[in-house]
Amino acid sequence: MRPDVQDQIVEIIAREALREPAELTHETTLDELGLDSLGLVEVIFAIEEAFGISVPFNANEPGQSSFDISSVGAIARAVEALIAGDTPATVVA
Partner 1 sequence: MRRVVITGAGTVNALALDVAGTFAAMREGRSGIGALDFPDVDRLSVGIGGQVKGFDPALHFTPQKRALYDPFAQYALVAAREAMRMAGLEAVPGAPDRWGCIMGTAGGGNGTVNDAFRAVYAEGRSRVHPFTVPRLMNNAACSHIAMEWGLQGPSFSVATACASSNHAIGLAFQMVRAGMIDGALAGGSEAMLNFGGLKAWEGLRVMSPDACRPFSKNRNGMVQGEGAGVFVIETLEGALARGAVPLAEIRGFSMTSDAGDIVMPSVDGAARAIRGALDDAQLSLDEIGYINAHGTGTAANDRTECLAISQVFGARAPKVPVSSTKAMHGHLIGATGAVELLACLLALNEGVIAPTINHQEDDPDCALDVVPNHAREVQVDAALSNAFAFGGLNAVLALSKL
Binding residues (CB under 8 A) for partner 1: these are 37-38, 41, 44-45, 54, 57-61, 64, 92-93
Backbone phi and psi for residue 6, each to the nearest 5 degrees, phi listed first: -60, -45
- Nearer to partner 1 by Cβ, of 56 and 73: the residue is 56
CB of 39 to partner 1, least distance (A): 12
CB of 27 to partner 1, least distance (A): 25
- Nearer to partner 1 by Cβ, of 26 and 46: the residue is 46
* Region label for 18, one of left (φ > 0), alpha (ψ between -120 and 50) or beta (otherwise): left
CB of 63 to partner 1, least distance (A): 10
Nearest to 50 by CA among 21, 79, 78, 24: 79
State the Cα–Cα distance between residues 71 and 76, nearest whole angstrom: 9
